[in-house]
Amino acid sequence: MPNDPIAKPWERITSLLESEDADGLRSLLDELGPADTALAISRIGHDAQSKLLTLIDPTDAADVITEIPEAQAVDLLHHLDANNAALIVDELDSEVRADVLSDLSKGEAEAILEQMPAPLAEDARHLMTYAADSAGGVMITEYVAFRQDQLIRDALDDLQQNQEKYSDFDVQYLYVTDDDGVLVGVMPIRSLLFAPRGRAVRDVMIASPIAVPSDATLDDMRDFFKEHGYVGAPVVDAEGRMVGVLRRAAVQKAIADQGQRGFLRFSGIVGGEEFRSMPLWSRSGRRLSWLSINIVLNIIAASVIAMYTDTLEAVIALAIFLPMISDMSGCSGNQAVAVSMRELSLGLVRANEVARVFMKEIGVGVINGLVLGLLLGGVAWVWKGNPWLGIVVGGALAANTIVAVTLGGALPLLLKKLKLDPALVSGPMLTTVTDMCGFFFALSFATAAMSQLA
């Protein structure tokens, strides 16, 4: 089916680009969902991507940028000249605009900002000062606000006169401020529509609304929307001035994006998302930056074995069990890491509760360590017929499991408290420690029992 846009949409896009059929491209992109759009764009070259974004209307191009992954959007803008990129960035929602500009190089972002209308550029520069995972970095600045001393008729006239502008806003509530921009109330649209036109806005607003600080973290935002069933909430700065609106859906997306980035970093993809449409050297560098560090971590673990070369040569059977001891302990530790990461994400444990988590995990570590130690020690005893080998192997696994479980439970909290990313550091650090400790326990126990093992 050559005309089926879902089968191979990139081929249809290429054909439409060759004929410069802007209307056909718009229709095709309207039919495709976000996933198919991202797939199609990734299959055409950079020249074709640039032609696509410049051939269609900037509003439609902005829809494309919004639908595809942020890293892919940044890559597309990177290959456009500043003027064409600015036309598209103008049409983006404020938080998307700030995000993509922040991910471009400083020079590229500034070149685009210089081509944008001054108010939009100023707003973007202001949003770019906020941390990406703060309320200021997630909020939108498109909202409707009135002063508390305005009359209802003035507010209604403003809505009528700016209906085209406000139609693009995600308006759920109207906000009320004083002359200094400090948030003093919120007004449902229904209250505005049915209030007497001669009354002041302050008379129908809901006073002292709940607001989110602009420096609130993702954890704070998640807790806020868990406690309050709002679809959105006003964001205020340190002086109480309203600076934007935080949407529940945007917070959920930010949390999901953070988890995806954490998974990529945990997997060794440093520098954010990677796509196979990116340049070869860029992709290679993102992976090598972590793999190079991992070499050092493995050398540290291997150095423990080097300290006990004589013992390992005398009791060669230990070489069979060393990988088992480190791997099984690592699995136990990763289970504890997963539980702590999950509880942190759900707000069931806080970063300062390291001691509590440590004590909770000790019991599990002791029980599981003894059971696993007895099992593996029994295998070693039966295999070689030497109970002392079973004691060394089983004891090493039991001790290492206790270390791995307690460390695995506490490590994410410690890293969170130090403002480091638990998803990035917990796994590699735990693996290195369990390897070193496992080798140390097994070889030092074997050295102590050498007369019984030789």
For residue 427, give both structure tokens. Answer: 């796994």
Q: Where are the domains of the chain?
A: 9-129, 145-247, 280-453
pTM: 0.56
DSSP state of 203: G
The answer to whether domain 9-129 has CATH 3.30.70.1520 is no
Residues 6+ apart with CB under 8 A from 62: 88, 89, 90, 91, 92
Percent of the chain scored above 90 by pLDDT?
Answer: 29
pLDDT reported for residue 267? 46
CA angle at 142 for the pair 141 and 147, rounded to the nearest 5°: 90
| Residue 370, pLDDT score | 94
Residue 231 structure tokens: 């679809």
pLDDT, tens only, 428-438: 778 888 888 98
Share of residues in the chain with pLDDT > 70 (%): 87
Residues in a beta bridge with 247: 232
The C-alpha atoms of residue 76 and residue 41 are separated, in whole angstroms, by 9
Please write the tens of the pLDDT for every residue from 239-289. 999 999 998 988 888 887 766 555 445 444 445 555 555 666 666 665 666
Compute the distance between CA of residue 402 and CA of residue 425 in angstroms, rounded to an integer. Answer: 20
**Distance in angstroms (rounded) separating the CA atoms of residues 363 and 342:** 20
Which contiguous run of DSSP H or E holds residue 177?
Answer: strand 173-177
Look at residue 12 in the predicted model and tell me its pLDDT.
87
Using alpha carbons, list the distances in angstroms from residue 154 to 106, 195, 198.
42, 12, 9
63-67, 164-168, 282-286, 310-314: range with highest mean pLDDT? 63-67
Given a cut of 60, is residue 13 above it in pLDDT? yes
pLDDT at 365: 92
Phi first, then psi: give them for residue 326, nearest 5 degrees.
Answer: -70, -40
More confident residue, 166 or 454: 166
Q: What integer best gives the mean pLDDT of the chain?
A: 84
In three-state secondary structure terms, 215 is coil
Domain 145-247, second-level architecture: Roll (3.10)
pLDDT tens-digit map of 139-150: 988 899 999 999
Tokens 């859906």 found at = 249
Question: Which of the four pLDDT bands, split at 50, 70 and 90, describes residue 2?
Answer: very low
* DSSP for residue 202: G
pLDDT of 264: 47
Q: What is the pLDDT of residues 387-412, one digit of tens each?
A: 999 999 999 999 999 999 999 899 88
C-alpha to C-alpha distance for 130 and 202, rounded to whole angstroms: 31
The predicted pLDDT at position 93 comes to 86
Contact assessment for residue 266 and residue 424, using Cβ atoms and an 8 Å cutoff: yes
* CB-based contacts of 124, cutoff 8 Å, min separation 6: 89, 94, 97, 98, 101, 113, 116
pLDDT score of 366:
94
Please indicate whether residue 132 or residue 172 has the higher confidence score (pLDDT): 132
Region 364-374 average pLDDT: 93
N residues, the chain: 454
Question: By 3-state DSSP, what share of the chain in percent is helix, strand and coil, each rounded to 5?
Answer: 70, 10, 25
Report which secondary-structure segment, H or E, holds 79.
none
More confident residue, 184 or 71: 184
* 6 against 279, higher pLDDT: 279
Task: With beta carbons less than 8 A apart as the criterion, state whether 332 and 401 touch.
Answer: yes
| Class for the domain spanning 280-453 | mainly alpha
What type of residue is 357? V
pLDDT at position 153 is: 93
